[in-house]
Amino acid sequence: MLGVRTHLSVPAFSSSKHLLRQHLKPHSYSSASASRPSIKMTSSSTPTQSVVEHIVLFKVKDDTEPSKVSAMVNGLSSLLSLDQVLHLTVGPVLRSRSSTLTFTHMLHSRYATKQDLDAYSAHPSHVSVVKGNVLPIIDDIMAVDWVSPALPADHLLTPPGSAIRVSFLKLKENAGDHSKDEILGVIGGMTERFKQISQLSVGENFSPARAKGYSIASLGVFPGVEELEAVVSNEDVVNAEKDKVRDHIESVVVVDYVVPPTQSASL
């Protein structure tokens, strides 16, 4: 277990007010566009929506001035105001659980469609923050995107204080579609085995350029760090689940993150 020291003094934010405004935009529910996600009802009458998950992991240089780290986080946080963004949170990681790749900060954002993610990536405000505040102070970066097919519509926001565990899996060269389906099935069933998980999103990466060969991603949300630790400490059950798919996996990156307090004044 690796604890990652960060220089951040100003917390990032995740705004429920902005989330609701974006989520209720008419185009998010339009049936006229085939590219828009579908809203469907589960057996319990809970509306669900497919969303595009976007995770970026950053490794800030050790000698970076705290003011520059804060400028990076605040600049990325400000991108929540863009029309394409349904949800965005960014800040220091709690810990990085990988022997070969370590990171200090994480950004998690959500979009209604892949087209919205593309528009966000190409937006002048995003490009300006990346060029001016991110690239000059980082040693490494990794990004993974996937579609979560049926996320409860009222769970688009990860509330402040929530603990998030992000896992990226790199499969062995001989792993085929059957292996992928088996892995996705095992991960997707985690909510049945661990009741502490309040939200689970899993899928196959569709943006390989910055993913370092990792092709399957999952994001588990817990009410807080205590619930996350309860799952981590249940080693027998966790290892039993890992054993089901271990033969298909070459390496894993795991990052734990706590959603910072909301900074509504930053909107």
Torsion angle of the four alpha carbons 9, 76, 79, 112, in this order, in degrees rounded to the nearest 10: -110
- Taking only the tens place, the pLDDT of each residue in 112-133 is 999 999 999 999 999 999 999 9
Confidence of residue 173 (pLDDT cuts 50, 70, 90): confident
- Say how far apart CA 6 and CA 71 lie, in whole Å: 14
pLDDT higher than 80, residue 193: no
Higher pLDDT, 1 or 157: 157
Residue 39 lies in a domain: no
pLDDT of residue 126: 98
87's tokens: 């949800």
pLDDT of residue 238: 64
- Say how far apart CA 70 and CA 108 lie, in whole Å: 17
Domain of residue 98 covers 12-30+47-266
pLDDT of residue 154: 74
- Say how far apart CA 157 and CA 14 lie, in whole Å: 8
Instruction: Name the domain count of the chain.
Output: 1
- Taking only the tens place, the pLDDT of each residue in 242-254 is 777 778 888 889 9
- Taking only the tens place, the pLDDT of each residue in 231-245 is 888 766 666 767 777
- Say how far apart CA 259 and CA 250 lie, in whole Å: 29
- Say how far apart CA 153 and CA 46 lie, in whole Å: 8
The mean predicted confidence, pLDDT, of the chain is 79
Three-state secondary-structure class, residue 76? helix
pLDDT of residue 139: 96
Strand partners, 88: 109
Q: Which amino acid is at 264?
A: S
How many CA atoms are closer than 13 Å to the CA of 118, on its beta-carbon side?
Answer: 5
Secondary structure letter of residue 157 according to DSSP: S
- Say how far apart CA 198 and CA 226 lie, in whole Å: 13
Residue 109 lies in a domain: yes
Confidence of residue 260 (pLDDT cuts 50, 70, 90): very high
- Taking only the tens place, the pLDDT of each residue in 15-53 is 443 434 444 333 332 222 233 333 333 344 567 788 999
Higher pLDDT, 182 or 7: 182
Are 187 and 169 spatial neighbours (Cβ–Cβ below 8 Å)?
A: no
Residue 38 lies in a domain: no
Residue 154 lies in a domain: yes
- Say how far apart CA 152 and CA 49 lie, in whole Å: 6
pLDDT of residue 146: 96
- Say how far apart CA 64 and CA 10 lie, in whole Å: 15
Q: What share of the chain is helix, strand, coil (3-state, %, to 5)?
A: 35, 30, 30
Residue 41 lies in a domain: no
Helices (H), 123-213: 124-129, 177-188, 190-193
Residue 7 lies in a domain: no
Sign of CA dihedral 70, 73, 77, 78: positive
Sign of CA dihedral 151, 164, 89, 209: negative
Residue 72 lies in a domain: yes
DSSP secondary structure string for all residues of 96-117: E--SS---SEEEEEEESSHHHH
pLDDT of residue 246: 76
Confidence of residue 222 (pLDDT cuts 50, 70, 90): very high
Are 4 and 96 spatial neighbours (Cβ–Cβ below 8 Å)?
A: yes
pLDDT higher than 60, residue 166: yes
pLDDT of residue 80: 96
Share of the chain above pLDDT 90, in %: 51
* pTM recorded for the entire structure: 0.79
Three-state secondary-structure class, residue 29? helix
Q: Which of 29-33, 81-85, 99-103 has the highest mean predicted lDDT (pLDDT)? A: 81-85
Residue 108 lies in a domain: yes
